[in-house]
């Protein structure tokens, strides 16, 4: 089995995603283990001096003034895990839970959290053995990080809660026993360190970002096929235009459109005429989303390589500082931005769908069927796209502008970042289906115009893939299965290319 070492140094989103999705044995490097041990010794030394440290020998939140005796320190850490594990809703996907656990280990390896080495090694044993805690998706305020869902992971680490193992849902103690893993007995600060942090919203955000990049590339391909079906103009993707408005995403997208349309005999190269915005402004609209995705990628990369629990230990200074690195606002803002950027791909796609099915705009048969009237063709497919786009607008309402104080007003501003992250799944699914509908309509338009032989090599490949999954619509038939098949096709990397190349 391939091995991967967590070193305590920077890791990329691409590498994190790869080891999450692959069967890789993940361990700590000697340097990372040394960081953890050094930090742990600092915590123990400060407690031995009789120092009062938040969350180490005090209560939590509003109870921070309550001092806890040395004899009760272990019970304090166990109690915080049990009391905070009050999530509700359906479980997070196992791969998301795995990524959360990996990010937790990556952060501990930086040597500022004060946990014991055995605790981190046990967490990685769970990762490598396939023990996946059952983590309800709802309950986090994104304030002291993702307290509630992270508590459900910590529960299994100490032999409680519930977990999935070998495809079965078991008690945490059963899953750990079957995997041959001894549960952890928590010491000073460890319960708090396991619960503080933004790993849940980070993991959900990373999975969403991967899908967003795939949809961006698919949207470019769908737009190119639509432009060919409607015999659109290429003046709008001229390199000179974009050089004098040099937004990176716009320039990149214009280049992608030139590549996708290269060799086409369907496009109009006249510079004197212009298309509707949904065709002409693809570089500007898709490009703006691409810029947003790359911004979010930067935020998530920084967060992945940050330490976000509290308090934080600085061994070289023999200092323990209480701060707010667990606050989810940087992610909440970025993930709400991601939601809007993905929604815009669907918005403009739906407008291209309308141009394809509307005979006044396309010059083709009404609703892309040869015998309209008797047949409705793809009329209602546009209805579905419009419905999905409208729902996306609701999902795009930002969660980060809301805040409900908690812990008797001690935690008086919260980010709601996990909500920003979770609502992305609906937007991504809706956008996937809108793009599937556009591809279905564009391929049908190409067939009605009888110009499939004049497609560019890139769009011809996409057209052939669509037609291998869905036949030409000769007369009305049930088409929800056609949409499903094309949506499944979009999920294949050969269709759109690697997600991280934008």
pLDDT, one tens digit per residue, over 52-81 is 887 787 777 666 677 777 778 888 899 999
Least confident of 198-207, 309-318, 434-443: 309-318
Name the residue range of residue 43's domain. 2-197
Picking from 197, 220, 245, the residue at the C-terminal end of a domain is: 197
Helix axes 379-395, 424-449, angle to 10 degrees: 160
| Residues 438 and 353 sit within 8 Å (Cβ to Cβ) | yes
Same domain membership, residue 257 and residue 155:
no
Average pLDDT over residues 81-96: 96
Q: What is the pLDDT of residue 142?
A: 87
| Residues 260 and 456 sit within 8 Å (Cβ to Cβ) | yes
Same domain membership, residue 159 and residue 238:
no
Same domain membership, residue 209 and residue 193:
no
What is the pLDDT confidence band of residue 494, given thresholds at 50, 70 and 90?
confident
For the chain, give the longest Cα–Cα distance: 87
Q: Which helix (H) or strand (E) holds 319?
A: strand 319-321
Same domain membership, residue 98 and residue 27:
yes
| Residues 87 and 136 sit within 8 Å (Cβ to Cβ) | yes
Which position has the higher pLDDT, 11 or 49?
A: 11
Q: What is the pLDDT of residue 46?
A: 86
Same domain membership, residue 324 and residue 277:
yes
Average pLDDT over residues 147-169: 97
Residues with active-site annotation: 54
Same domain membership, residue 193 and residue 264:
no
Average pLDDT over residues 198-220: 96
Q: What is the pLDDT of residue 362?
A: 94
Question: How many angstroms separate the CA atoms of 88 and 277, rounded?
Answer: 44
| pLDDT greater than 70 at residue 342 | yes
Same domain membership, residue 133 and residue 218:
no
Question: What is the three-class DSSP state of 22?
Answer: coil
Which position has the higher pLDDT, 411 or 135?
A: 135
Q: What is the pLDDT of residue 498?
A: 62
Look at the chain and report how many structural domains it folds into.
2
Same domain membership, residue 155 and residue 258:
no
Q: What is the pLDDT of residue 404?
A: 83
| pLDDT greater than 90 at residue 411 | no
Q: What is the pLDDT of residue 499?
A: 56
Least confident of 221-230, 415-424, 491-500: 491-500
Question: How many angstroms separate the CA atoms of 355 and 326, rounded?
Answer: 47
Same domain membership, residue 178 and residue 306:
no
Same domain membership, residue 310 and residue 282:
yes
Residue 407 φ/ψ region, left for φ over 0, alpha for ψ in the -120 to 50 degree band, beta for the rest: left
Same domain membership, residue 354 and residue 298:
yes
Q: Where are the beta strands (DSSP E) in 397-437?
A: none
Average pLDDT, the chain: 93
Which position has the higher pLDDT, 73 or 499?
A: 73
What is the pLDDT confidence band of residue 377, given thresholds at 50, 70 and 90?
very high
Which position has the higher pLDDT, 272 or 418?
A: 418
Same domain membership, residue 12 and residue 46:
yes
Q: What is the pLDDT of residue 271?
A: 66
Q: What is the pLDDT of residue 158?
A: 97
What is the pLDDT confidence band of residue 410, given thresholds at 50, 70 and 90?
confident
Closest Cα partner for 78 from 171, 159, 199, 181?
159
Average pLDDT over residues 473-502: 84
Q: What is the pLDDT of residue 502?
A: 52
Q: At 237, which CATH number?
A: 1.20.200.10
Picking from 180, 197, 214, the residue at the C-terminal end of a domain is: 197
Q: What is the pLDDT of residue 7?
A: 96
| pLDDT greater than 90 at residue 492 | no
Question: What is the three-class DSSP state of 162?
Answer: strand
Question: How many angstroms separate the CA atoms of 231 and 237, rounded?
Answer: 14
State what percent of residues in the chain have pLDDT above 90.
Answer: 83
Average pLDDT over residues 320-342: 95
Tokens of 471: 């036949």
Picking from 161, 181, 197, the residue at the C-terminal end of a domain is: 197
**Cβ-count burial of 148 within 10 angstroms (0-12 exposed, 13-18 middle, 19+ buried)?**
buried
Q: At 153, which CATH number?
A: 1.10.275.10
State what percent of residues in the chain have pLDDT above 70.
Answer: 97
Average pLDDT over residues 181-193: 94
What is the pLDDT confidence band of residue 181, given thresholds at 50, 70 and 90?
very high
């Amino acid at each position: 089995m391939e091995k991967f070492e967590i070193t305590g140094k920077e890791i990329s989103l691409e590498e994190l995603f790869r080891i999450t999705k692959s069967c890789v044995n993940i361990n700590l490097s000697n340097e990372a283990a040394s960081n953890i041990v050094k930090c742990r010794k600092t915590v123990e030394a400060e407690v031995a001096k009789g120092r009062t440290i938040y969350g180490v020998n005090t209560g939590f939140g509003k109870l921070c003034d309550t001092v806890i005796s040395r004899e009760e320190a272990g019970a304090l850490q166990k109690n915080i895990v049990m009391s905070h594990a009050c999530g509700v809703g359906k479980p997070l996907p196992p791969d998301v839970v795995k990524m959360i656990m990996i990010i937790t280990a990556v952060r501990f390896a930086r040597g500022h959290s004060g946990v014991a080495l055995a605790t981190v090694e046990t967490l990685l044993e769970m990762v490598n053995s396939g023990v996946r805690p059952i983590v309800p998706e709802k309950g986090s305020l994104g304030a002291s990080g993702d307290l509630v869902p992270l508590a459900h992971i910590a529960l299994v680490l100490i032999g409680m809660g519930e977990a999935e193992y070998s495809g079965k849902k078991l008690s945490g103690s059963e899953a750990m026993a079957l995997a041959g893993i001894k549960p952890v007995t928590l010491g000073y600060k460890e319960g708090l360190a396991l619960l503080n942090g933004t790993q849940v919203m980070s993991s959900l955000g990373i999975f969403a970002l991967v899908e967003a990049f795939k949809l961006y590339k698919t949207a470019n391909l769908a737009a190119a096929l639509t432009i060919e079906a409607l015999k659109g103009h290429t003046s709008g993707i001229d390199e000179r235009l974009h050089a004098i408005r040099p937004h990176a995403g716009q320039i990149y997208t214009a280049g992608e459109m030139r590549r996708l349309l290269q060799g086409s005999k369907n496009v109009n190269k006249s510079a004197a005429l212009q298309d509707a915005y949904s065709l002409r402004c693809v570089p500007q609209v898709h490009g703006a989303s691409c810029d947003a995705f790359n911004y979010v990628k930067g935020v998530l990369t920084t967060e992945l390589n940050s330490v976000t629990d509290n308090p934080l230990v600085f061994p070289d200074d023999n200092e323990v500082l209480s701060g707010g690195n667990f606050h989810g606002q940087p992610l909440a803002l970025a993930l709400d931005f991601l939601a809007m950027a993905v929604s815009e791909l669907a918005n403009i796609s739906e407008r291209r769908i309308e141009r394809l099915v509307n005979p006044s705009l396309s010059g083709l048969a009404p609703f892309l069927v040869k015998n309209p009237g008797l047949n409705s063709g793809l009329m209602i497919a546009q209805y579905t796209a419009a419905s999905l786009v409208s729902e996306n607008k609701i999902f795009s309402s930002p969660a980060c502008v809301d805040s409900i104080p908690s812990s008797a007003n001690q935690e008086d501003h919260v980010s709601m970042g996990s909500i920003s992250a979770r609502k992305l799944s609906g937007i991504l699914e809706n956008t996937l289906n809108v793009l599937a509908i556009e591809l279905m309509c564009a391929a049908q338009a190409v067939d009605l115009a009888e110009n499939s032989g004049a497609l560019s090599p890139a769009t011809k490949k996409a057209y052939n893939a669509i037609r291998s999954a869905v036949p030409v619509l000769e007369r009305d038939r049930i088409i929800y299965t056609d949409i499903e098949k094309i949506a499944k096709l979009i999920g294949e990397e050969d269709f759109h290319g690697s997600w991280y190349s934008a």
